[in-house]
Amino acid sequence: MPRALWTAWVWAVISAFTEGASDQASSLSCDPTGVCDGHSRSLNSIPSGLTAGVKSLDLSDNEITYVGNRDLQRCVNLKTLRLGANEIHTVEEDSFFHLRNLEYLDLSYNRLSNLSSSWFRSLYVLKFLNLLGNLYKTLGETSLFSHLPNLRTLKVGNSNSFTQIHEKDFTGLTFLEELEISAQNLQLYVPKSLKSIQNISHLILHLKQPVLLLDILIDIESPLNYLELRDTILHTFYFSEASISEFNTSVKKLTFKNGQFPDDSLVEVVNWFNYVLGILEVEFDDCTHDGVGDFTALTLNRIRYLGNVETLTIRKLHIPQFFLFYDLSSIYPLTGKVKRVTIENSKVFLVPCLLSQHLKSLEYLDLSENLMSEETLKNSACEHAWPFLQTLVLRQNRLKSLEKTGELLLTLKNLNNLDISKNNFLSMPETCQWPGKMKQLNLSSTRIHSLTQCLPQTLEILDVSNNNLDSFSLILPQLKELYISRNKLKTLPDASFLPVLSVMRISGNIINTFSKEQLDSFPQLKALEAGGNNFICSCDFLSFAQGQQALARVLVDWPDGYRCDAPSHVRGQRVQDARLSLSECHRAAVVSAVCCALFLLLLLTGVLCHRFHGLWYMKMMWAWLQAKRKPRKAPRRDLCYDAFVSYSEQDSYWVENLMVQELEHFNPPLKLCLHKRDFVPGKWIIDNIIDSIEKSRKTIFVLSESFVRSEWCKYELDFSHFRLFDENNDAAILILLEPIDKKAIPQRFCKLRKIMNTRTYLEWPTDETHREAFWLNLRAAIRS
């Protein structure tokens, strides 16, 4: 079966199991890679239906009490099994028999009172085993771990009932690297119990009393890199030169965690440093000193140094009787060879000047999370103090003045790395004094809101993260690394200010874009972290960010750290995945295309208007709007004319010399309205036409070829066509002055064409004998 199909099948089986099994099983969540999480789900048994697709199973922090032979038999590919912090009291003999690929097994903090070697007989590749915190008193009657040749880390014991270690207990663990034994109440240690372990490098011992400590260490023949003593009360710690004569182990690092010791026991510990070969680093973590600092015995024993110790670390040291402490001058001479000192979170407010002067080899000093202020720092960094100090860490103390702090440290001629982060400086003065070799400065989380020339020009690394900075405009010609994350910067710093910058971390600001030109302006930039900003995903920015394959080699948090904040429809998307529409990215082209389309539309509209007389319809609409403002029909008393005559200028002779003579000079006379004579001067011609038609009882159209071609006749005919014909009255009188082809009448005058086809019109006779009848009929039509 192909690998992809196999994975899909496994995932389908797991999904079916998680959806269709019991309520307990439904709380087990698995991903497509076979990692199943069921911790803290209140399970009281191992879920049924587990398959070969499960590779990692976490069932810790539940209420499981029993592991049966069939619970895990199908999990043949399982590599990690976490069953810690349950209520398991029984594990059947073959529960883990089918787990031949298991590398990590955690059975810690259950209720196992007996351990069986049969559990582990098929776990050949197991590398990690944790059996801490159970109820067993011993590690079994036979060798428990003889079937685990590849085990590298083992954790055994408990804080109460585990009291004996026998010679057989660790047989077969030839290549064990890390061993943790919790035996606070250890009463019996059989010699040579740890002799079989050849390569152990990290030994962790939870011993309440150190009585059997030397017996255990004598059996460790291999070089021990790291020895850790936890929860040990050193009130009875004592050894002689004779008792350690068999001790051949070389310990490089020694840690006391959660230990307690009085003054005299501390003297024994210091004496131990001079006998145990190779101790280079000593650490006291969360320890309590039950004394008053009476170390006179050190002087009496003529102990001059802390052995070969170069690194001393003290974290969370508790001194209940601190205010009764003696003068510590008796221990000052012991510190001459120490190179690295860390005293963290221990309420230190002063390092006496004399002690500082004795620390002649000190290169690194960390006083983080203490109570140091400028007043006490002045005494600590006195003349000739820490002559070779290169790194000083004063993070989270009580420093307030950046100017004074720099001035106090001028005595440290070799200082090149200073960490004064998490102090409340608030502001930065314009100028400061610093040691001449300063190369690294950490001012993160100091609440400063601007940077000034106070910073030393020799800096190569500067950290001003998590402040209130909104700009960076300092010239630092030697700066190679700049850490300025979590501020309020809107753009990248100017590259001309930082000519040799190679690393910049500027994430978590309010930067909305950057360009290829900006990045190229940093000629030596190798790493840029700029994620977590409010990026506006414009077309230019997306084109740059998505089109530069080499960008991923520079942006260390690409692509997950880079998210769009705008436009709104891509907000939250990764910059790498965001896509904008054509109209957003080619606005000018779209506008040009729209303009061209509008132009073509207008052109087409013009052609269509010309072809289908659209202009005429517009004129008619205007005339209609004008007419709508007037009464539909003028009252009879407002009629001034018997007829309005519409005619062409070429037909004016006929109208003015014949028609006027026959109608106005006849008895009784008729009053005609002629545009030449009766239109009001200065009035808009359209209004004149409309008013004249409105004030006339009839409208006479003198039709001829010239009439059809006349523009103003068209206006008069237009309005009559709309106003008179639409009212379905007989106000229009048509006189055909000469024969006209009906096809010459414009198509838009459809009603006129219809009237000429359906109604009788007067035709000017060519025979003079018929003209008297013509005038008679015309007079009758006007008066009708």
For position 581, what pLDDT does the model report? Answer: 85
**446, pLDDT greater than 90:** yes
Give the chain's mean pLDDT: 86
> Which residue shows structure tokens 């100090």?
389
| Cα–Cα distance, 424 to 752 (Å, whole number) | 97
- Name the percent of the chain lying above pLDDT 70: 85
Q: For residues 362 and 338, is the Cβ–Cβ distance under 8 A?
A: yes
Point out the least confidently predicted range of 2-6, 372-376, 673-677: 2-6
| Cα–Cα distance, 248 to 735 (Å, whole number) | 141
- Region 357-380: what's the mean pLDDT? 96
Tens digit of pLDDT for each residue in 277-288? 678 899 999 999
Cα distance between the two ends of the chain: 106
> Which residue shows structure tokens 């619970």?
71
**8, pLDDT greater than 50:** no
Tens digit of pLDDT for each residue in 623-670? 656 655 555 555 555 688 888 888 888 888 888 888 888 888 888 888
203, 679, 715, 729 from 687: Cα distances, Å: 113, 10, 11, 22
For position 283, what pLDDT does the model report? Answer: 96
For position 20, what pLDDT does the model report? Answer: 39
> pLDDT band at residue 767, thresholds of 50, 70 and 90?
confident
> pLDDT band at residue 315, thresholds of 50, 70 and 90?
very high
> Which residue shows structure tokens 């790498």?
576
Of residues 285 and 610, more confidently modeled: 285
Nearest CA to 436 among 462, 412, 452, 401? 412
List b or e across 425-447, with b for residues whose CB sees 16 or more CB atoms inside 10 angstroms: beebeeebebbeebbbbbbbbbe
For position 687, what pLDDT does the model report? Answer: 76
For position 11, what pLDDT does the model report? Answer: 45
For position 1, what pLDDT does the model report? Answer: 43
Point out the least confidently predicted range of 331-345, 670-684, 749-763: 749-763
For position 21, what pLDDT does the model report? Answer: 40
> pLDDT band at residue 243, thresholds of 50, 70 and 90?
low
**728, pLDDT greater than 70:** no
- Looking only at the bridges linking them, the beta strands covering 56-58 and 29-30 are unpaired
Tens digit of pLDDT for each residue in 99-152? 999 999 999 999 999 999 999 999 999 999 999 999 999 998 888 998 999 999
Q: For residues 521 and 493, is the Cβ–Cβ distance under 8 A?
A: no
| Cα–Cα distance, 356 to 333 (Å, whole number) | 11
Residue 174 token pair: 């030839």
Tens digit of pLDDT for each residue in 84-104? 999 999 999 999 999 999 999
**417, pLDDT greater than 90:** yes
For position 56, what pLDDT does the model report? Answer: 96
**686, pLDDT greater than 90:** no
- Region 270-277: what's the mean pLDDT? 75
For position 22, what pLDDT does the model report? Answer: 43
**748, pLDDT greater than 50:** yes
**469, pLDDT greater than 90:** yes
For position 16, what pLDDT does the model report? Answer: 41
Point out the least confidently predicted range of 117-121, 328-332, 452-456, 525-529: 328-332
> pLDDT band at residue 464, thresholds of 50, 70 and 90?
very high
Give the DSSP per-residue string, 500-542.
Answer: T--EEE--SS------HHHHHTSTT--EEE--SS-EE--HHHH
> pLDDT band at residue 336, thresholds of 50, 70 and 90?
confident
- Region 178-191: what's the mean pLDDT? 93
Residue 734 token pair: 């048509």
For position 155, what pLDDT does the model report? Answer: 97
**389, pLDDT greater than 50:** yes
For position 13, what pLDDT does the model report? Answer: 41
> pLDDT band at residue 384, thresholds of 50, 70 and 90?
very high
DSSP state letter for 762: E
Tens digit of pLDDT for each residue in 9-60? 444 444 444 343 444 445 789 999 999 999 999 999 999 889 999 999 999 9
Point out the least confidently predicted range of 35-44, 256-265, 578-587: 578-587
| Cα–Cα distance, 581 to 717 (Å, whole number) | 55
For position 755, what pLDDT does the model report? Answer: 66
> Which residue shows structure tokens 């010609």?
477
The shares of helix, strand and coil residues in the chain, as percent rounded to the nearest 5, are 30, 15, 55
Highest mean pLDDT among 191-200, 346-355, 714-723: 346-355
Cα dihedral across residues 625, 631, 632, 635: positive or negative = negative
> Which residue shows structure tokens 């290829």?
516
- Region 697-717: what's the mean pLDDT? 74
pTM: 0.72
Identify each DSSP E strand in 10-113 by its residue range: 29-30, 35-37, 56-58, 66-67, 80-82, 90-91, 104-106
- Write the single-letter amino acid at 306: L
**685, pLDDT greater than 80:** no
Point out the least confidently predicted range of 402-406, 511-515, 743-747: 743-747
| Cα–Cα distance, 314 to 309 (Å, whole number) | 14
Nearest CA to 508 among 529, 490, 485? 485
For position 19, what pLDDT does the model report? Answer: 42
In the chain the domains, ranked by start, together with CATH numbers, are 29-159 (3.80.10.10), 641-783 (3.40.50.10140)
Give the DSSP per-residue string, 664-679.
Answer: HSSSS---EE-HHHHS
**388, pLDDT greater than 70:** yes
- Name the percent of the chain lying above pLDDT 90: 52
Q: For residues 201 and 220, is the Cβ–Cβ distance under 8 A?
A: no
Tens digit of pLDDT for each residue in 399-411? 999 999 999 999 9
